[in-house]
Amino acid sequence: MTVHHDTAILLISCPDQKGLVAAIAQFLYQHNANILHADQHQDAESGTFLMRVEWDLQSFDLALEQFHTAFSPIAQQFGMHWRLAHATQRLRMAIFVSRYDHCLADLLYRYQAGELNCDIPIIISNHHDTQWLAQAYNIPFQYIPVHKDGKAEAEAEQLAILRHHHIDFIVLARYMQVLSADFIRHYPQRIINIHHSFLPAFHGAKPYHRAFERGVKLIGATSHYVTEILDDGPIIEQDVARISHRDNLDDLIRRGADLEKIVLSRAVRLHSEHRVLLYANKTVVFD
């Protein structure tokens, strides 16, 4: 089980310039912060600076409620986009799923084992197939059918449930419906999908079938944030497995399912531990 200490996490992106790291470190030092982790990245092409810094709150003499006021002058000086997170405040994750249960089962196992720093107040599905799995882990399950001419009504019901449970982010664990642009706008950069392909190859439906027809030697899985453009959002995590001419389509699907579970669980962990920063249509992952 992962032990989560009482720490604060500061995530920053801004134009790259001299004095950034010194200003941040000096501010934290002035308030008696014990920095545990500090990671940074400079994107030379775009001139962007990105940083994640985590510190122990035991001796920190600035209340987190006062952090915004105290840090704002530095943020304004350097043109920072930033946010503060408290590691012990667990994010609330909703899981959307259809009929395939392997990603859901893996997430629930890791959740019960304490590997994920989040809570799961609700599982939403357009099929009944995985209800037994939710019941096995004692997590509420909501069945909301999605009919061809009733998608807007289904999404309105889903959004009402998400608001009721104060959901912070959504995970699509092989949810076989395309979310509308209106739905996505309610959770920008807070919907994580698993695609059963190594994007940008074979986006859209039936990627294993197309990979098999193409005779690829590698198959993969990709976890990414959902945007209005299908399978085009910023990538969080990917992995691949080597295959050969001896593997048939069922072999690809079976081996791909193992990749999907691992890749999605990694992405959820990274997001829930505030290790992902987005810029342009890319991510920086501080792992």
> DSSP string spanning 70-81?
HHHHHHHHHT-E
Q: 100 and 66, same structural domain?
A: no
Residue finishing a domain among 70, 86, 102: 86
Report pTM.
0.91
Domain housing 244: 91-285
Q: 190 and 111, same structural domain?
A: yes
Q: 69 and 95, same structural domain?
A: no
- CB-based burial label for 139 (10 Å; 0-12, 13-18, 19+): middle
Q: 98 and 74, same structural domain?
A: no
The C-alpha atoms of residue 95 and residue 172 are separated, in whole angstroms, by 6
Q: 143 and 68, same structural domain?
A: no
- pLDDT the model gives residue 198: 60
- pLDDT the model gives residue 1: 47
Q: 61 and 197, same structural domain?
A: no
Contact 196, 212 (CB under 8 A): no
Residue 222 corresponds to which tokens in the numbers above? 């990709």
Q: 159 and 72, same structural domain?
A: no
Q: HSE-up of 271 (CA within 13 Å, CB side)?
A: 29
The C-alpha atoms of residue 53 and residue 51 are separated, in whole angstroms, by 7
Q: 137 and 19, same structural domain?
A: no
- pLDDT the model gives residue 278: 94
Provide DSSP, 110-156. Answer: HHHTT-SSEEEEEEEESSSTTHHHHHHTT--EEE----TT-HHHHHH
Instruction: Please state the separation of Cα 267 from the chain's center in Å.
Output: 5
Q: 215 and 100, same structural domain?
A: yes
Catalytic (active site) residue 231: yes
- pLDDT the model gives residue 230: 80
**Catalytic position from the list 39, 168, 231, 287:** 231
Query: What is the tally of structural domains in the chain?
Result: 2
pLDDT tens sequence for the chain (287 residues): 454 579 999 999 999 999 999 999 999 999 999 999 999 999 999 999 999 999 999 999 999 999 999 999 999 999 999 999 999 999 999 999 999 999 999 999 999 999 999 999 999 999 999 999 999 999 999 999 999 899 999 999 999 999 999 999 999 999 999 999 999 999 999 999 998 776 556 666 677 677 677 777 778 889 999 999 887 899 999 999 888 888 788 888 788 899 999 999 999 999 999 999 999 889 999 98
The C-alpha atoms of residue 229 and residue 33 are separated, in whole angstroms, by 42
